[in-house]
């Protein structure tokens, strides 16, 4: 176990009870305060400007070849550091902020510059996303969608258990939590072959509860990443709300897959939770039967036990939790996804994003989209204010949360929030 993961660790920074950000978390993000934009970590409700600690020599003991990575306005260069150096930075942060350590504690000159209250900073996109892939790795979700749109008897297509199905998505429309998204307009299916398609604001706007991982290495075109090395190429994870317009999707997706129904806005949580922080939460994934091809076979525990939750808040009303799921349900794990992504020779870069696909669990209250929760509008979801939802209404706010808990340590992802505004 890394020292930085020890459940007994405490810090001299105040951490509220049930905070997502104990000393064992140490996520990375990009924060803005006035004109300052800086690489940050967070402990409790305190956001730490890491570049200030670098200024004052707190990282001089580490053999980091180029300290300019700490002055970037994205985490891409930090992610690109070799894994052993990323671990060394994490361990050093743990040391500096541990209760008994006096290097920084009480040093008012540095603290004044380095510490910010979370409510007084704005969180920006943590990475510059060059490329984005969306997988389809929950067997429950793929089965539900197959039942709803195709044949209940043959809900899963023949390839599904042999490869992690995915598509190349749009990176430009991935935005950080807190960004509002306008309801998309588009073409929808005509009632019959004689009619022309309809055009207008989507009537079936949906969320998709997903998690995404961010890669930490650069590979050459033609190279592929062996499955037992794939996790070392992952920097960390965020919550990913893949907003989807079901009516637009239904008309456009054959034969080449989703297009405009998925590219009008996807929202991520601002803090990247590192693979090191998530290490204690490894768990077994579902049994893969039939056996997968050798290049996708991996031994050990490669799923993660992270509780997920989605709430919808209608305008001026209390929020209702509509879904509770868990990343452990994913049939295909991140190592298999990344290996499959590169097996044909596709090159990857630090900061690239790979979303899991909607994470549905086995029970109806764990389904990760309104499409499944309302079973395509046939079982409306009741809200606390008495209203009902088949899909998302204008001015609804969608909040996703993710937390891993074990041995009294709670590692949270913070929140991934977006409000839906009327079509432009």
**β 409-421/181-182 pair status:** parallel
CB environment 247-274: b (16+ within 10 A), e (fewer) = bbbebbeeeebbebbbbbbbbbbbbbbb
Give residues 341-370 in contact with Ca ion (rule: CB under 5 A): none
Residue 111 CA to chain centroid, in angstroms?
Answer: 31
> Taken in order 19, 25, 26, 28, is the CA torsion positive or negative?
negative
Q: Is the Cβ–Cβ distance between 134 and 121 less than 8 Å?
A: no
**Choices 103-111, 204-212, 268-276, 335-343; region in contact with Ca ion by CB under 5 A:** 204-212
Residue closer to Ca ion by CB (options 29, 169) is 169
Residue 266 CB, nearest approach to Ca ion (Å):
8
Beta strands (DSSP E) in 44-154 are 46-49, 115-117, 122-124, 132-135
- Cα–Cα distance, 367 to 365 (Å, whole number): 6
**Choices 54-62, 207-215, 218-226, 394-402; region in contact with Ca ion by CB under 5 A:** 207-215
Residue of closest CB approach to Ca ion: 242
252 contacts: CB under 8 Å, gap ≥ 6: 186, 187, 258, 259, 260, 261
Of the candidates 6, 116, 141, 393, the residue annotated as catalytic is 141
Residue 2 CB, nearest approach to Ca ion (Å):
32
Helix, strand and coil percent figures for the chain, each rounded to 5 = 25, 30, 50
Q: Does 396 bind Ca ion (CB under 5 A)?
A: no
**Residue span 168-197 as binding mask against Ca ion, x where in contact by CB under 5 A, dash where not:** ------------------------------
Residue 356 CB, nearest approach to Ca ion (Å):
8
Beta strands (DSSP E) in 246-306 are 266-268, 273-274, 282-283, 303-304
Residue 242 CB, nearest approach to Ca ion (Å):
4
Q: Is the Cβ–Cβ distance between 239 and 355 less than 8 Å?
A: no
Q: Which of 20, 49, 208, 396 is the binder for Ca ion (CB under 5 A)?
A: 208
Strand partners, 124: 30
Residue closer to Ca ion by CB (options 134, 231) is 134
- Asked if 141 is an active-site residue, the reply is yes
- Cα–Cα distance, 395 to 391 (Å, whole number): 12
**Choices 34-42, 144-152, 238-246, 288-296; region in contact with Ca ion by CB under 5 A:** 238-246
Residue closer to Ca ion by CB (options 212, 409) is 212
Q: Is the Cβ–Cβ distance between 380 and 205 less than 8 Å?
A: no
**Residue span 120-159 as binding mask against Ca ion, x where in contact by CB under 5 A, dash where not:** --------------x-------------------------
- Cα–Cα distance, 257 to 249 (Å, whole number): 8
Q: Does 206 bind Ca ion (CB under 5 A)?
A: no
Residue 43 CB, nearest approach to Ca ion (Å):
32
Q: Does 242 bind Ca ion (CB under 5 A)?
A: yes
Residue 309 CB, nearest approach to Ca ion (Å):
18
**Choices 3-11, 146-154, 208-216, 312-320; region in contact with Ca ion by CB under 5 A:** 208-216
Residue closer to Ca ion by CB (options 134, 415) is 134
Residue closer to Ca ion by CB (options 131, 134) is 134
The site that binds Ca ion (CB under 5 A) totals a number of residues, namely 3
Distances in Å between the alpha carbon of 177 and those of 30, 187, 238, 241?
12, 28, 11, 9
Residue 159 CB, nearest approach to Ca ion (Å):
17
Catalytic residues: 141
Residues at the interface with Ca ion (CB under 5 A): 134, 208, 242
């Amino acid at each position: 176990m890394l020292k930085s993961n020890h459940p007994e660790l405490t810090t001299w920074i105040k951490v509220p009870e049930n905070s997502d950000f104990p000393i064992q978390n140490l996520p990375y993000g990009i924060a803005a305060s006035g004109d300052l934009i800086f690489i940050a970590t967070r402990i409790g409700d305190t956001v730490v400007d890491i570049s200030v600690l670098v200024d004052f020599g707190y990282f001089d003991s580490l053999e980091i070849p180029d300290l300019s990575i700490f002055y970037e306005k994205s985490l891409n260069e930090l992610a690109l550091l070799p894994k052993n150096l990323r671990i060394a930075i994490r361990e050093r942060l743990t040391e500096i902020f541990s209760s008994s350590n006096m290097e920084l504690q009480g040093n008012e000159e540095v603290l004044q510059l380095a510490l910010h209250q979370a409510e007084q900073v704005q969180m920006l996109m943590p990475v510059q996303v060059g490329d984005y892939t969306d997988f389809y790795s929950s067997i429950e979700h793929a089965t539900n969608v197959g039942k709803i749109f195709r044949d209940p008897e043959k809900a899963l297509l023949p390839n599904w258990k042999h490869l992690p199905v995915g598509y190349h998505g749009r990176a430009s429309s991935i935005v950080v939590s807190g960004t509002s998204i306008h309801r998309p307009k588009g073409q929808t299916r005509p009632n019959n072959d004689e009619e022309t398609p309809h055009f207008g604001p989507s009537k079936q706007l949906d969320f998709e509860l997903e998690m995404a991982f961010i890669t930490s290495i650069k590979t050459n075109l033609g190279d592929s990443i062996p499955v037992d090395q794939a996790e070392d190429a992952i920097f960390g994870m965020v919550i990913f709300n893949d907003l989807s317009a079901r009516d637009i999707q239904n008309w456009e997706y054959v034969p080449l897959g989703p297009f405009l129904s998925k590219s009008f806005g996807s929202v991520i949580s601002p803090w990247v939770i590192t693979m090191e922080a998530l290490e204690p939460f490894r768990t077994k994934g579902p049994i893969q039967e039939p056996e997968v091809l050798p290049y996708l076979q991996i031994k050990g525990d490669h799923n993660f036990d992270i509780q997920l939750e989605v709430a919808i808040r209608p305008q001026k009303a209390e929020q209702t939790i509509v879904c509770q799921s868990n990343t452990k349900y994913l049939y295909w794990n991140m190592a298999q996804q990344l290996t499959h992504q590169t097996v044909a020779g596709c090159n990857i870069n630090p900061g690239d994003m790979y979303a899991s696909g909607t994470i549905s669990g086995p029970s109806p209250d764990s389904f990760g989209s309104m499409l499944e929760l309302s079973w395509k509008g046939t079982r409306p979801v009741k809200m606390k204010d008495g209203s009902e939802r088949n899909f998302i209404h204008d001015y609804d706010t969608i909040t996703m949360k993710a937390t891993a808990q074990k041995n009294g340590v709670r590692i949270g992802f913070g929140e991934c929030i977006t409000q839906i505004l009327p079509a432009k």
